[in-house]
A and B are shown apart, each in its own frame.
Chain A
Amino acid sequence: MEEQVGKLWHSFITGRTTTGYPQAAISFSQLSRGLSIFYRAAGGDPAKTMSCTDKRRLRTRRAWLVRVAGTQQRFSMAWQDEKGVYFPEQIDLFSQTELNKTLYFWLAAMAAQLPLHFDWFRDNQIATRTLLDRYPGFREHYRMMAATLVTQRKNLICKTEAEKRREKVIIHALNHPVDCIEFPVADRDSHPVPLWLYPALSTQHVTEENEQPLPNQNTEKQQTETVTVRKQAKRTDDRKKTDGLLIFIPDSLFSWTEHINMDRSEDDTFDENAAFIAQDLDDLTLGNRENGIASRLKIDLDLPSSDADDFPVGPGIRLPEWHYKRHSYITHYCQLQPLISADAEPTELPVHLKPVARRLKSQLESFRLGKNRLRRQLFGDEINLDSWLEHTTSATQQVTGQNFFNRIDQHQRDLSTLILADLSLSTEAAIDNDTRIIDVIRDSLLQFGEAIHTLDDNFAMYGFSSVRNKMIRYHILKNFNESYDDTIRGRILSVKPGFYTRLGAAIRQSTRILARQPSEHKLLLIISDGKPNDIDRYEGRYGIEDTRKAVQEAKSEGLAPFCITVDSDANNYLPYLFGNRGYSVLHNSLKLPQVLPEIYLGLTQ
């Protein structure tokens, strides 16, 4: 009963104080792809991602009723940083859906227009002016949106003179976006203007540039639910061995929001409601210590097993890496070790793959070789007018040499293919009850080997995984000089998931190998299950930019790189890496073994 009353009261009081138009609401997810295309067209950085922002808590002045209802404390404000642009999850400010939608596009255009580090108030106005000049289509909408917002702002409460002055300036800036007004300071926060982009919250980076991470950082991240909105986070230095001092403030003790520097790394109970709590918190505090005993145990088990059964070939190869912030290569930064599995027994093709392989083989027989039009044949599919004319026009019309036909025939293709498979730990993830991604990759490699072997095309197969820059494991499955047989099948069957995905270095080495092939066309086929990442800084933009650079190098060597991935998020980053025709995303990863040869044929026919 009490709960019932509480609910009723809540819906009544929030209903009284909510200002939006839910019937005209539009959400970010409905527009996200269109928005990102629009953002890039408007001049935005293609490497940035678009996502939802978390609400920010602002200390605005609120009316009595609003205070009672507890609403209008947290606001969705659009902002951007060097990694992405963050939009409100939903917009329902205006009574027309069209305007709400336009606001999203407006924000995207603003983000493309604004510099990253800005005097936000002034720059927002300059950007507004520029956009209105450039896009006549925005003008009418801007006028309507600004007018609505100004009307809504009239109801805001301003108690002090400073606040009143500030409100006046905001309204003036909305109506006449010019670039010469200082943003006045006042006690409370001002009510945010949804048409503007707000500065990113300053985060204190404690360890980001730290080249010597803590010993425990090797741990795999615990797989948890992902909170889809962007949370405000601040980093804090919790590396001190001593426990933090607990300052006892009675009314803040039961709150989640304050960070107390207290060492509880031995506490291994996992809070099942973490995702829910995270949604509710204003900001999350990130520590540098890894906690969770399970994850630490996992890596300890993994590390030694790796070297036991693989035989290193040669002393290892030094490769450069691209540092996008410095805009230069770090030479000899990566140590790549070619490996060959020593104890792989020659094995026949597994029984469960045989039927598909047989079917593929018979299909491929017809594709076996490239097509070629043979001219001046005795028999053929079409008439060769030239030869007929020559024959008719020659003085001595000989009976011999009446080769009046063209025939379509097939010839060998001048093509080399290198397949580079991602063997990182993430491939150990299960797809269904009895299949892991690594099994699918293994089957695909086998199936592909069978197929391409049928076609008599020149090919090699490698796999890779990495642990930081110092250990990039490059598994030789088949090199160009070996013929595809049971030894190779055995090697493919013995591949195991390794560690992380330092894709850039693996691509560079593959480029070197493939570029040495004498054939005219060279295809670099990459099979992957996710973004490039490693446990050092090789994640996020750093890894993406290095991989992109490696792909560009491959292209400039005359190679054609192509990526096949089972990561359903890949549409967000693969176009930037490989171009819009340079990749293919499989939504059903179980289909990879069948699809891989088809993709190959599509590429090379």
Chain B
Amino acid sequence: MTSSCYYLPQNNEIELFCYAAELQLPVLIKGPTGCGKTRFVEHMGEKLNRPVYTVACHDDLTAADLIGRHLINSEGTYWQDGPLTRAVREGGICYLDEVVEARKDTTVVLHPLADYRRVLPLDRTGETIQAHKNFMLVVSYNPGYQNLLKGMKPSTRQRFISLQFNYPEEQQETEIIMAETGIDSKTARHLVRLGKEIRRLKDHDLQEMVSTRLLVYAALLIEKGFPKRDACVHCLAESLTDDAETFQSLVQLINLHFLSGKEQAA
């Protein structure tokens, strides 16, 4: 089946994901911001022909937001399934994005789903749902955020098969940017090389790295006719730092890539 959702495999992740889907195992995806975690899950959803229910987790997410709740309409009350319950019932991929943001007591509802039982007890309705054979649980998080008091509970974590994502290699990233934006290969290569250089500053000068997503944004602007240098300044330098000196250095780097000497002097 051809997929409309573009994804370029970096490693064996597609194969692993297919096996996990077949064997009904839950998957944990780790990786930095904007490296293609969500895109990968969507792509796999299309490939396996399963709907994807995405939940962006935050610290106020309750178990009811995942499972469902009673609602009222003109005829009385009715039960509304949450995204997790819907995926469990109908078969599909339930994708919890940035799962560490959710409170730990919320993620505990995942436990019976993430082991051999594959059941979801709904205490409000007294129902226990046996998961559909096509149900699959996928969670993701970014290990780079070092908040001392946040992290994944080890007991939750060790119920998953884990996949480590990273930013693609130079050649692959160039291909991705070209495929996503239709930009010419020369500019794409320049963007990727610039991205690679900025990534070297991680931990030392920058907290976050340039994501493939940001490079794609820059390429989109450039493809539409926005000046290359300005596109990079707004997509890369401004988005990554507030520190004036680091910003100046990034701009200098961008200038060297995308401006000729005359333009720089001007």
Contacts and interface: CB of A to CB of B under 8 A. Distances in A.
Given A137-B256, A138-B256, A390-B69, 11 more contacts: A96-B265, A135-B257, A136-B256, A136-B258, A375-B62, A392-B77, A393-B70, A415-B149, A575-B205, A579-B203, A580-B207
A579 B248 CA distance: 20
Interface stretch (B83-91, B164-172, B193-201): B193-201
B253 interface: yes
Contacts of A541: none
Contacts of A581: 146, 207
A38 B249 contact: yes
B259 interface: yes
15 contacts: A33-B249, A46-B204, A134-B257, A136-B257, A141-B261, A375-B62, A389-B71, A390-B124, A392-B77, A413-B149, A560-B148, A579-B203, A580-B204, A581-B207, A604-B148
Nearest to B63: A386
Contacts of A579: 203-204
Contacts of A144: 261
B261 A139 contact: yes
Nearest to B64: A386
A37 B250 CA distance: 8
A231 to B, nearest CB: 28
B38 interface: no
A143 interface: yes
A275 interface: no
Contacts of A140: 260-262, 264
Interface string B229-260: 00000000000000001101110110111111
Contact of B200 (A34, A43, A389, A394): A43
Contacts of A141: 261, 264
A413 B248 CA distance: 40
B148 A34 contact: no
B204 A575 contact: yes
Given A137-B260, A141-B261, A386-B64, A393 B204 contact: no
Nearest to B194: A41
B60 interface: yes
Contacts of B200: 40-41, 43, 46
Contact of A37 (B76, B148, B245): B245
Contact of B70 (A42, A390, A415): A390
Nearest to B249: A37
Nearest to A578: B203
Interface string B150-173: 010000000000000000000000
B265 A139 contact: no
Given A135-B256, A139-B261, A581-B146, A393 B72 contact: yes
Contacts of A102: 261
A98 B255 CA distance: 13
**Among all A-B residue pairs, the 3 with the closest Cβ atoms:** A140-B261, A393-B77, A137-B256
B122 interface: no
A165 interface: no
B203 A575 contact: yes
B206 interface: yes
Interface of A: 33-34, 37-38, 40-43, 46, 96, 98, 102, 105, 134-144, 370, 373, 375, 386, 389-390, 392-394, 413, 415, 520-521, 523, 560, 575-576, 579-581, 603-604
A423 to B, nearest CB: 26
Most chain A beta carbons < 10 A, residue from B60, B64, B248, B249: B249
A135 B70 CA distance: 61
Contacts of A390: 69-70, 124
B257 A137 contact: yes
A41 B201 contact: yes
A575 B151 CA distance: 23
B241 to A, nearest CB: 10
A137 B149 contact: no
Interface in B214-235: none
A135 B252 CA distance: 11
Nearest to A384: B62
Nearest to A575: B204
A372 to B, nearest CB: 9
Interface of B: 60, 62, 64, 69-72, 76-77, 124, 146, 148-149, 151, 193, 197-198, 200-201, 203-207, 245-246, 248-250, 252-253, 255-262, 264-265
Given A136-B257, A140-B262, A580-B207, A392 B72 contact: yes
Contacts of B60: 373
Given A41-B201, A579-B204, A604 B149 contact: yes
A41 B256 contact: no
A581 to B, nearest CB: 6
B148 A415 contact: yes
Given A34-B245, A136-B260, A40 B205 contact: yes
B256 A105 contact: yes
Contacts of A560: 146, 148
A581 B203 CA distance: 8
Contacts of A40: 200-201, 204-205
Contacts of A604: 148-149
Contact of A386 (B62, B146, B203): B62
A137 B72 contact: no
A603 B150 CA distance: 12
Contacts of A394: 70, 77
B70 A137 contact: no
A200 B69 CA distance: 72
Contacts of A135: 256-257
Nearest to B79: A393
Contacts of B246: 37
A551 B80 CA distance: 50
A604 B149 CA distance: 7
B122 to A, nearest CB: 13
Nearest to B265: A98
Contacts of B197: 41-43
Nearest to A417: B148
B137 to A, nearest CB: 23
A523 B148 contact: yes
B64 to A, nearest CB: 5
A576 B205 CA distance: 9
Nearest to A574: B204
Nearest to A373: B60
A392 B73 CA distance: 11
A121 to B, nearest CB: 25
Contacts of B149: 370, 413, 415, 521, 604
B29 to A, nearest CB: 21
A137 B261 contact: yes
Given A415-B149, A580-B205, A34 B248 contact: yes
B193 A134 contact: yes
B256 A98 contact: no
B249 A41 contact: yes
B212 to A, nearest CB: 18
A37 B246 CA distance: 7
Q: Which of B60, B72, B256, B264 has the most CB of A within 10 A?
A: B256
Contacts of A96: 265
Nearest to A521: B148
A60 B54 CA distance: 72
B258 A137 contact: yes
Nearest to B104: A520
A523 B147 CA distance: 11
A104 to B, nearest CB: 10
Contacts of A576: 204
Given A38-B249, A138-B256, A98 B264 contact: yes
A62 to B, nearest CB: 32
Nearest to B149: A521
Contacts of B252: 34, 38, 105
